[in-house]
Amino acid sequence: MTIRTLASTVAAAALVAATAASAEVDFSGETIEWVIPFSETGGSAKWANFFAPLLSEELPGNPTVVVKFMPGAGSTKGANWFQEQEHEDGTLMFGTSGSTQFPYLLGDPRVRYEYSDWVPVMASGTGGVAYLNAEDGKKFDGSANNLKDIDFIYGSQGATRLDLVPLLAWQMLGMNVEPVFGIKGRGDGRLMFERGEATIDYQTSSAYLGAAKDLVDAGTAVPMMTWGALDDDGNIVRDPTFPDIPTFKEVCEATEGCETSGEAWDAWKAFFIAGFPVQKIAFLPAGTPDDVRETYEAAFDAVRNRDDFAEIAAKRVGKYPVFVGEGAARATKEGTTVSADAKAFVTNWLQEAYGVSLN
Amino acid sequence: MDILATALPALGDAWALILQPVVLGYLVLGVVMGLAVGVFPGLGGIAGLSLLLPFMFGMEPVLGLALMIGMVAVVPTSDTFASVLMGIPGSSASQATVLDGFPLAKRGQAARALAAAFSSSLFGGLVGALFLTIFILVARPIVLAFGLPEMLMITILGLSMVAVLAGRVALKGLAAAGLGLMIGTIGEADAGGSLRMATYDIPYLTDGLKLVIVGLGIFAVPEIVSLLRQDRSIAKDAKLGAGWGAGVRDWFANKWLSVRCSLIGVLVGIIPGLGGSVVDWIAYGHSVQTTKDKSNFGKGEIRGVIGPESSNNAKEGGGLVPTLLFGIPGSGSMAIFIGAIALLGSGDIEVGPSMLRDNLDITYSIVWLLALANVVGTLLCIAASGGIARLTTIRFTYLAPFLFMLISFAAFQSGQNFEDLLALFVIGLIGIFLRRFDWSRPAFLIGFVLSNPVEKFSNQAFQIASFRFRKSFEEGMDYVFSPIVIVLIIVTVVSVVLGLRQAKSIMAEGDVQSGSKRAPLVFLLVISAYLVTALINAWLIPNFNLTDKIVPLVVGGIALTCCLIMLVQMMLRPETDVIFADKEVSGEDADAPYGLWSTLAWFAALIGLTFVVGFILALVGFMTAFLRVRAGASWQKTAILTAAGVALMCVMAGALNRDFPPGLLQDAVDLPWPLN
C-alpha cells in the first residue's frame, strides 16, 4: 500500500466519519495560528499563505487563520518549540518542510523534536527538474555516459539541505559536479546558471515552469531529468507534470556504472521521498483529540476538493498532490523515516565528499 | 524604435490603470498604513506586508498592488523620523542618515533635517521611476553582466567607505571595521556550516546577529544613554531652529547631489543579492567626497542627509528590476511582495522572465505606483515633520523609557528570542565604548553589514575563478577582470585615496579630548583579546572547510595587526595624543550629572525584569519606577505615561499580530494576551 492509494481510499473513508464527528468543534470568533519555522520570504511561507484563507473558509465557524513565522537555526528552532507545545483548544497548527525533515533524518545535534509525537493533518509534495547548459546539453543522449569528463559547477544551498538529492544523483551518474555553497535560494542558483557561472542546475516543479522553462524554450538550457514521482506501488515513474522528460531512474539505468538497486540507490530514494513527494506537512500538536484532528482533516479535504483547486494551486504553489487524513499520516511516516543503512550511507558520503560532519 | 512601440502603449495603459479614484484611494490607504508601521524602528515593510497578505487572496490585481506598494514605498521614508529625531536607525536604509541627521536634531534643526531628507526621498523616488521606465526594457542583459566578481567589487567599494569614515586615527577605523566584520561572521557559516564563535548549545548564536540589533546597539543605545545621563532635551536648550522650509531649500540648493545619489541608488539597487546594505554608505561617501568643506560631516552637515536619503528611495525602484524580471527578491519585503502577487486576482501575473512580455502594463503600473506612493508619503511626512520635531524639545528623561521600550520591542521582533534583548544590551555596551574611545561606529557597522557579502562573494568568486583558470588561463582572466570589475577597481582605489586624505577632517564623534592612558588601553586590550579568541576559533575549523575559515582568519589577522600597532603607539606616545581619545575626560559625557553604569542599570533592569515576568509586566514596573525615581514625576503623570506606553505597545503588537518576550512567570502560569 502506498501513499497514493491511501490518500484516495482510506482517507476518503475516514473523512466520511470525520465530517459527522466534527460537528461539535466550532471555531467561531477564534484565531488559528499557523506557525511556520521559516522567514516570511521562503517557499513554506508561500505554501501556508496559500492554504490559510482557503482553510479559514472551510473550518466550522470560519476562524481567522493567521500565518506566524518563527525562523531560526534552519527551522530546527521552530520545530523544537513546537515539540514543547501541547493541545489546548485546537487553535495551533505547525508546518514543516524538507528542510525540517532532513536534519531530523540526518541526526543533526540541534534536533530536539520527534515527528511521531505530532498529529499530521495535511501533506503535500512537489517534483524537481535538473537541466544543463546548451553546450553540455548537446552531449546528453538520455544517459550521462558523455557527461563524465566534464566539470560542472552548481550553485548550492548546502549539502545537507534538499540539494542532497541532486548532488547524490549526479554523483551516482559518475558526473563531476562541483557545488558552490552558500547561495540563499534556488532562485539565486538559477541566476548563477543564467550568468553562465553555474553550468548545471535544478528547480522544483513550479519554479521550473515559472522561470527555467523560458531558458529551455530560448535554447539556453536543456532539460536533463526529473526526480520522478511515486506510483501506487511506490515505484518511481515519470513526473505527470513533465511526461516528456526522463526520470533520474531512467537516466541511471542507461548510464554505465549507475545502479538502480543497492545501498546508494536506496539511500537516494529514501531522501528523495522525504524531500519531494512528501515535502511539506501541516501538524497539530501532541495530544490533539480525534474530533479536532478530524475537523481539520475535513476542512483540508474540502479545500482540495474545491472545483477550482487544481487551477489556483497550479498557479500559486504548483501542481502538488495533497494528502489528508490517513494519507497524510502515511505520507508523514514515509517522509520522516529512512533505514539505518540509508542514513549511514548518506552521513558517510557527506563526510567524504564535502567534509560535512553533523556532530 | 521597436522598444518604444511596445513601451509607449503599455505606459499609457499603466497610467489609465493607476489614475482611477479607487486605485488612488487604496494607494493612500497603503501609504498611511506604511507610515504607521514605518515610524516604529525595526518593524518595517515585512511586518506591514504580512499584515496585508490575508486580504490579497483574489483581490483585483491593481488594487492589491496599490495597497502593497503604498505600504512598501513609504517605509524608507518614514523610518527617517526615528533616525533623525532619536538617532535610531529604523532599517538598513537609514543608517547613514543617522550620522548627520541626528546631530542636526541635537542642534535644534530637526525639522530642517527631516524636510531635506523627505524632499530628497521624494526626488530620489521620482528619478528612480523615470529611469526605470526606460531602463527596465533593456535591463536583463545588464543585470546578467553582474557576476560574482562584479558583486564582490561593489561590496569592496562599499567597504572602502570605511576610509572616509575611519575618523582621526585611520588604524582605529580599520580595526573597528575589522571587528564589525568579525562580529558578522559569528554563527553557522553559509558555505560549509562550520560554527564560528558559536556552539549548538546556544542555538541563538548559530544564526548570527541580526542587523536590526547591531544597528540599534551601535547607534541608538549609546546615544540614548548619553542623552539620559546629561538629563537634557535632544535639541540643546530645547530650542527649535530652522523650520521645514529651510530643509526644502537645502535640498534645492543640492539638487545635483540628489540626482547623482538617486542614480547611484537605482543602479546599485538593480543588482540582485546586494540589496540596500551598501547603497546608503556609497551615497554618503560620495556626498563627502564631493563637498568642498568637509569639516561639518558627522556634526550635522545637511549634505550628509540629502545624499543617503536620495539614494534609498531610488534603490527601492531599482530593487524592482531583479524582483520583477527574474523573480529574485532584492529584499525581504520584496520576497513577500512576490508571494502576494501570486495571490492577486486569478493568479495570472507571474513574476519572472515573462513579466515584461506578458504584463508590461502591470510592470509599469508597479513602477509608477511606487513613484506616486513616494509623492503622497513624502507630502504627508513633510506636513507632519514640523510638529513631530517638537519631540526633540521634550526633556529626554521623559522620552527615554519609551525609547528603551521601542528598541527592546524592535530587537525582539528580529528573532523572537529573549536572547535578542541580551544581544541588544551587549552590542549596546560595545557601542557605548566605541563611542567613548572614538572608534568609528559607522566603520564598525559597515564591516558588520558587509561581512556576509564579502565572505560569500569572495568564496564563490574564487571557486568559480579557479574552475575557469583550470580550463584556460585566458578564460580565467576574462572572468575575473571583466570591464566592469576594472572600472570598479579604479573607482575603489580613487575613493580610498581621496577618503584617507579627507578622513582626518571628518569627526563623526565630534572633537574628543584625550586624557589618561589607562581606559583606552584596557579597551584596546579587550578588543585584541576577542580578536585572538576568534582567530583561534577560526583556526580550529578543519581544513576541508577552508571556505569557512579563510575570511575570518584574514580579516581577523588584519584587525589584530592594527590593534598591535596601536598598542605599540600607545606605549610610545604621550597621553595627550589623539589615540587616547576618551569622552569621559571632558565634554558633555564627562560633565553629565549621572554616571554611565547607573544609567545603564535602568536598561538592564528592564531586560532582567522581562526575563522574570515577561515584557508587558516588566514594562509597567520599569516605567513606573523610572518615571517616579529618575524623572521625579508625580504619581498621576507616571500613571498616565506608563498606561500610554503599554497601550501603544499593545495596539501596535495587536494590530500586527506580534508577540512580546515571555519570562519565567509565563513558563509557569498561563496568562491571557498581552501578558503571555
Question: What would the mean pLDDT of B644-658 be, rounded to a whole number?
Answer: 84
pLDDT for B476 beyond 80: yes
Per-residue pLDDT in tens (0 to 9) along chain A, 359 residues: 444 554 455 445 444 444 444 457 889 888 898 999 987 767 788 888 889 989 999 999 999 888 888 877 778 888 998 998 888 888 999 999 888 999 899 888 888 899 999 999 999 888 899 999 999 999 999 999 999 999 999 998 888 888 999 999 999 999 999 999 888 778 888 889 999 999 999 998 878 887 788 899 989 999 999 999 887 777 899 988 899 999 999 999 999 999 999 889 999 998 999 889 888 999 999 999 999 999 999 999 999 999 888 888 876 666 768 899 888 898 898 888 888 999 999 999 998 888 777 66
Q: Are B313 and B124 in contact (CB under 8 A)?
A: yes
- With an 8 Å Cβ cutoff, are A73 and B206 in contact? yes
CA pair distance B34, B91, nearest whole angstrom: 14
Please answer yes or no on whether A40 and B415 come within 8 Å at the CB atom.
no
Compute the distance between CA of residue B424 and CA of residue B221 in angstroms, rounded to an integer: 8
In three-state secondary structure terms, B521 is helix
Q: Please write the tens of the pLDDT for every residue from B187-209.
A: 988 887 788 998 878 878 888 89
Angle between helices A164-172 and A340-354 (to 10 degrees): 80
> Which residues of chain A lie closer than 8 angstroms to B415, CB-CB?
71-72
Contact B557, B565 (CB under 8 A): no
Q: For an interface test with B, which of A30, A36, A38, A40 has the most B Cβ atoms less than 10 Å from its Cβ?
A: A40
The DSSP call for residue B233 is B
Enumerate the β-bridge partners of residue A236.
A230
List the beta bridge partners of residue B388: none
Q: How far apart are CA B473 and CA B465, in angstroms?
A: 10
Grid cell of B413 as nine digits: 521582533
Instruction: Give the whole-angstrom CA distance, residue A128 versus residue B181.
Output: 37
Query: Does B478 reach chain A within 8 Å, measured CB to CB?
Result: no
Q: Inter-chain contact B467–A151, Cβ cutoff 8 Å? A: yes
User: Which residue among A53, A155, A354 sits closest to B54, beta carbon to beta carbon?
Assistant: A53
Q: Is B353 on the interface with A (CB under 8 A)?
A: yes
Q: d(Cα B636, Cα B628) in Å, to the nearest integer?
A: 10
Note whether A84 contacts B: Cβ–Cβ < 8 A: no
Cell of A281: 506537512
* Of A30-34, A62-66, B87-91, B528-532, minimum mean pLDDT range: B87-91
Chain A residues near residue B206 by CB distance under 8 angstroms = 73, 110
Helices B110-145 and B255-270 meet at what angle, rounded to 10?
Answer: 40
pLDDT at residue B516, as a whole number = 81
- Among chain B residues, CA nearest to A41: B335
Q: Are A61 and A29 a contacting pair, CB within 8 Å?
A: yes
Interface test with B, best of A113, A191, A217 (most B CBs within 10 A): A191
Q: Which residue has the cell 542514513?
A: A343
Q: Which of B192, B348, B470 sits opposite A181 (nearest CB)?
A: B192
> Judging by beta carbons within 10 Å of its beta carbon (0-12, 13-18, 19+), is residue B73 exposed, middle or buried?
buried
User: Which candidate, A350, A158, A164, places its Cα nearest to that of A268?
Assistant: A164
Question: CB distance B46–A40 less than 8 Å?
Answer: yes
B278: cell is 551598501
DSSP character at residue B545: G
- Of A111-120, B49-58, B591-600, give the lowest mean pLDDT range: B49-58
Dist. CA B329–CA A46, nearest whole Å = 14
Which residues on A lie below 8 Å from B542 (Cβ)?
A: 355
Which string of DSSP letters, residue by residue, matches A279-323? -EEEEEPBT--HHHHHHHHHHHHHHHTSTTHHHHHHHHT-S--EE
| Among A181, A216, A312, the residue to mutate for chain B (most B Cβ within 10 A) | A181
Contact A355 B544 (CB under 8 A): yes
Size of interface A-B (CB pairs under 8 A): 133
Residue type, B210: K
Enter the DSSP assignment of A86. B
Which residues from chain A sit within 8 angstroms of residue B325, using beta carbons?
A: none
Beta bridge partners of A221: A133
How do residues B424-461 score in pLDDT, each as one tens digit? 999 999 999 999 998 988 899 889 988 988 998 999 99
CA distance A357 to chain B (A): 9
The pLDDT assigned to A248 comes to: 96
Which run of H or E residues covers position B92?
A: none
B50 touches chain A (CB under 8 A): yes
* Residue contact A46–B339, C-beta within 8 A: yes
User: B343 vs A316: CB contact, 8 Å cut-off?
Assistant: yes
**By the 8 A CB rule, do B593 and B641 touch?**
no
Query: At what angle are helices B441-471 and B279-289 packed, to 10 degrees?
Result: 110
Q: What are the cell numbers at B264?
A: 547611484
Distance in angstroms (rounded) separating the CA atoms of residues A4 and A327: 7
| pLDDT of B42 | 65
Contacts of B167 (CB under 8 A, 6+ apart): B173, B438, B439, B440, B443, B503, B506, B507, B508, B509
Interchain contact, B148 vs A197, CB within 8 Å:
yes
Q: Give the DSSP H/E element, type plus range, for residue A155.
A: strand A151-156
Chain A partners within 8 Å of B340 (Cβ) = 49
Q: Does A110 touch chain B (CB under 8 A)?
A: yes
Locus of grid cell 530587537: B411
CA B448 to chain CA mean position, Å: 11
User: What is the three-class DSSP state of A92?
Assistant: strand
Query: How high is the pLDDT of residue A228?
Result: 92
Quote the CA–CA distance of A297 and A305 in Å, as a whole number.
Answer: 12
User: Which ranges of chain A does DSSP label H, i.e. alpha helix?
Assistant: 3-8, 10-21, 43-58, 76-83, 98-106, 134-137, 164-172, 186-194, 205-207, 213-217, 248-254, 263-275, 290-304, 309-316, 326-336, 340-354
Q: Is residue A152 within 8 angstroms of chain B, CB to CB?
A: no
- Residue B636 half-sphere exposure, CB side, CA atoms within 13 Å? 0
Residues on chain A touching B545 (C-beta within 8 angstroms): 355
**pLDDT tens-place string over residues B368-400:** 998 899 899 988 888 888 778 888 888 889 989
Q: Which residue has the cell 529626554?
A: B396
A109 in reach of chain B (CB within 8 A): yes
Strands, sheet with A31-36, edge to edge from the N-terminal-most edge strand: A64-69, A31-36, A92-96, A280-284, A119-124, A322-324
Residue entry with cell 513533465:
A242
Asked if the Cβ–Cβ distance from B463 to A178 is below 8 Å, we say yes
Question: Rounded mean pLDDT of B304-332?
Answer: 83
Number of residues in chain A: 359
Whether the full predicted model's pTM is greater than 0.95, yes or no, is no
Q: What is the CA radius of gyration of chain A?
A: 20
> Length of chain B in residues, anyone?
676
The partner residue sitting opposite B353, judged by closest CB among A39, A77, A211, is: A211
Per-residue confidence (pLDDT) for residue B618, from 0 to 100 = 93
| A189-215 as b/e: b if 16+ CB within 10 A | bbbbbbbebbbbbbbbbbbbbbbbbbb
- pLDDT at position A11, please? 47
Mutate to test the interface with B, among A180, A192, A306, A347 (most CBs of B within 10 A): A180
DSSP B149-218: HHHHHHHHHHHHHHHHHS-SSHHHHHHHHHHHHHHHT-EE-TTT--EES--TTSHHHHT---HHHHHIII
Task: Please give the backbone phi and psi of residue A69, each rounded to the nearest 5 degrees, phi first.
Answer: -115, 135
Average pLDDT over residues B636-661: 87
| Chain B residues inside the 8 Å CB shell of A188 | 272-273, 328
Check CB contact under 8 Å for A355 and B417.
no
Distance CA B25, CA A159 (A): 49
Please state the rounded mean pLDDT for residues B501-530: 81
Give the residue from chain A lying closest to B188, CA to CA: A73
Local confidence band at B276 (pLDDT 50, 70, 90 cut-offs): low
What would the mean pLDDT of B555-559 be, rounded to a whole number? Answer: 95
Q: What is the DSSP-derived secondary structure letter of residue B241? A: -
Domains in chain A and their CATH numbers? Answer: 3-125+278-340 (3.40.190.150), 128-265 (3.40.190.10)
